[in-house]
Amino acid sequence: MIEALHPSLILVATAAIILLLPHRLRQIFLVAGPLLAVAAVAHMSPGTLVAGEVLGYKLVFLKADALSLVFGLIFSIMSLLGGVYALHVTRRGEHMAALLYAAGSLGVVFAGDWITLFFFWELMSISSVFLIWYRNTARSLKAGFRYLLVHFFGGNLLLLGVLLLVGSGNPAVGTLTGTGHPAFWPVLLGVAVNAAIPPLHAWLTDAYPEGTVTGSVYLSAFTTKVAVYVLVRVFPGAPVLLWAGTIMALYGVIYAAMENNIRRLLAYHIISQVGYMVAAVGIGTEMGLNGSVAHAYSHILYKSLLFMGTGAVIYATGREWMTELGGIARFMPFTALFYTVGALSISGAPLFNGFISKSVVISAAAKSGLPAVDFLLTLASVGTFLSIGLKLLYFTFFGEDQGIKPRPLPFNMHLAMAMNSLLCLLYGIFPGLLYSRLPYPLEYEPYTVDHIMSSVQLLAATAAAFWLLLPRLDRKIVISLDTDWVYRKPLAVLLYLVVGAITGLREALYRCLSSAYVKVTPYFANPYLFMSFLRSGPGEGAGNGEGAAYDPGRYGQPLGVNVSLAAVVIVAVTVFLLWRSTTP
């Protein structure tokens, strides 16, 4: 019975229910709803189908296969972890936005047709922006509006592609690679916005650091990974994605190395890590696609854990710049420990989940005869460990003591981080738990002596270089110019100029029409004045007294005449309409 429940509808219903409940009961549903969604996905079998007809279109609300099930499982697990982490939050609206955001993600994953997919795609955009706005600062308000505008742009591109597909008789979600269909590029560009593929990426690093402490945990998990799902489903083997993903992996690492804001640094690493997934989709082999899915699964866990750790720091200290942090590990030992688990996971250290997924992507590149991609992705791994595993960890928790006295964290935040850390270790130690759920059979052993030694040597060499250069590392508050500068500065000026020109034109028209109204209305109010105008022309006869002699009470028709005329007109119209209705 439970396998027939759509996990997205479970979360939508939970979002509606919590609006009516007091805080204590809301906490129960924040766990129970996502837990039921996890159970629904776990009991769902490939081939499950739920469809219906709406306005003449067959909509496939739920279509389950191996690919949708693995993404559905991790998204529902993430909704549970995010709900536990946010149990202390009292704002109903923020909980509702988070649940609808997760519901939209699950809706896209299980959509079998393009119209259903687009509906849930837009639900994600609209609901997720409130996780930014609920921080209630001037920066979050502006970042939220920019986030919304960029996603509406991407959504319109996707909509164009959907209309082309549905109009050509292709309503089912399927592969576009190699088809030559005109919808290929609109759909790809629309998805590329959500995947944060440069130069369409800056919305992510602009908005995610401005979200609420708990909201950014959800943001880090869903939007880009839903886009990865669509890329795997629709664009496997597309050559453009191979190098776009490789560039992403390096681009994010380079910008992260320059960052001082702890969550903005993590946001740049979302771009880098998604680059591995996009490159793997571009490789297009079964191993490459498995690597993309596996790394998306692992990334959702360790990246949300990292945002939980940095969010805990912001909650406890009120600070989010590394230059303002340091020496807090002794006050927040569990947070430092859980963050370290996430840092080692994203760095690909053995026994952690990043190790068993990232290596599949790199091995797929090597087996496909792509040594340059293999080398560049490995190089990006070095930068990841350097900035997240060493730089952010050291300067935030173990650097120079700034005299900060953090406030205690709610128990639920520690619990969520502990649960997430356990999953990162569980999948890292038992990779078969993940490999068995991948869309294609995978025969791959990550724990070979060669692989373990090369990984440990790479991490050790990076750590040694960081330690030697540590005395020379000078933390500075900097603003890194990115592609968002284009629409935040020049485009903003152009927009103001256009709006100013339109406003000026409107005001000029208003003045002209107002002046004309003042001059013309006396002629309609006084027929004698109008007759005088016809005889003498404008400006003449004004002083001959003809205009003042008109009395509307004296010269108007009696009331009875007007009523009689109105009655005659009404009767005539009624008779005409009755005659027309009876005429064949």
Task: For residue 49, report the phi and psi dihedrals to the nearest 5 degrees.
Answer: -140, 130
pLDDT class of 328 with cuts at 50, 70, 90: very high
Give the relative orientation of helices 411-429 and 66-85 as an angle to the nearest 10 degrees: 150
Task: For residue 583, report the phi and psi dihedrals to the nearest 5 degrees.
Answer: -80, 125
- Does residue 368 lie in a domain region? yes
The pLDDT of residue 543: 43
> Mean pLDDT over residues 111-127, rounded?
95
* H or E stretch covering 167: helix 138-167
The pLDDT of residue 208: 94
More reliable by pLDDT, 478 or 101? 101
What's 153-165 look like in SS3? HHHHHHHHHHHHH
> Mean pLDDT over residues 167-176, rounded?
92
445 and 519 co-located in one domain:
no
The pLDDT of residue 310: 96
278 and 357 co-located in one domain:
yes
pLDDT class of 571 with cuts at 50, 70, 90: confident
| Boundary of a domain, candidates 432, 448, 479 | 479
pLDDT at 444 over 50: yes
- Does residue 192 lie in a domain region? no
272 and 417 co-located in one domain:
yes
The pLDDT of residue 392: 92
What pLDDT digit, counting tens, does each position of 470-497 carry?
776 655 666 677 777 676 677 777 777 8
395 and 501 co-located in one domain:
no
More reliable by pLDDT, 512 or 3? 512
pLDDT class of 542 with cuts at 50, 70, 90: very low
More reliable by pLDDT, 576 or 394? 394
241 and 343 co-located in one domain:
yes
- Buried b / exposed e along 470-485 (16+ C-beta atoms within 10 A): eeeeebeeeebebebe
505 and 536 co-located in one domain:
yes
24 and 166 co-located in one domain:
yes
Top mean pLDDT of 55-64, 427-436, 534-543 is at 427-436
- Site of tokens 């900060």: 404
pLDDT at 64 over 70: yes
Residues 6+ away with beta carbon under 8 Å from 357: 291, 294, 295, 297, 298, 299, 434
Q: Residue 58: beta bridge partners?
A: 53
pLDDT class of 531 with cuts at 50, 70, 90: low
Give the relative orientation of helices 239-258 and 262-283 as an angle to the nearest 10 degrees: 160
HSE, CB side, 13 Å, CA atoms: give it for residue 310: 34
pLDDT class of 558 with cuts at 50, 70, 90: low
> Mean pLDDT over residues 497-505, rounded?
87
pLDDT at 8 over 90: yes
The pLDDT of residue 403: 86
Q: What letter would DSSP give residue 196?
A: T
Measured distance CA(194)–CA(121) in Å, rounded: 10
| Domain residue limits at 80 | 1-171
pLDDT class of 583 with cuts at 50, 70, 90: low
Specify the pTM: 0.84
User: What secondary structure does DSSP assign to 340-408, as a single string?
Assistant: HHHHHHHTT-TTSHHHHHHHHHHHHHHHTT-HHHHHHHHHHHHHHIIIIIIIIHIIIIISS-----PPP
- Does residue 465 lie in a domain region? yes
130 and 5 co-located in one domain:
yes
| Boundary of a domain, candidates 144, 171, 198 | 171
The pLDDT of residue 547: 46
More reliable by pLDDT, 583 or 208? 208
245 and 160 co-located in one domain:
no
> Mean pLDDT over residues 405-426, rounded?
96
pLDDT at 465 over 50: yes
- Does residue 46 lie in a domain region? yes
Percent of residues, the chain, with pLDDT higher than 90: 67
3-state secondary structure of 37: helix
The two structure tokens encoding residue 17: 């229910």
440 and 500 co-located in one domain:
no
Measured distance CA(231)–CA(188) in Å, rounded: 8
The residue type found at 527 is P
Contact 99, 71 (CB under 8 A): no
CA angle 316, 319, 324 (to 5 degrees): 125
pLDDT at 529 over 80: no
Measured distance CA(570)–CA(577) in Å, rounded: 11
120 and 269 co-located in one domain:
no
- Does residue 86 lie in a domain region? yes
| Boundary of a domain, candidates 119, 144, 171 | 171
The pLDDT of residue 545: 43
Torsion of CA 553, 555, 559, 564, to 10 degrees: -160
The two structure tokens encoding residue 147: 């986030």
Contact 374, 362 (CB under 8 A): yes
- Does residue 538 lie in a domain region? yes
pLDDT at 246 over 70: yes
395 and 515 co-located in one domain:
no
**CA distances to 6, 91, 277 from 243, in Å:** 36, 43, 12
pLDDT class of 224 with cuts at 50, 70, 90: very high
- Does residue 300 lie in a domain region? yes
Domain count for the chain, please give it: 4
- Does residue 532 lie in a domain region? yes
CA angle 551, 552, 554 (to 5 degrees): 70
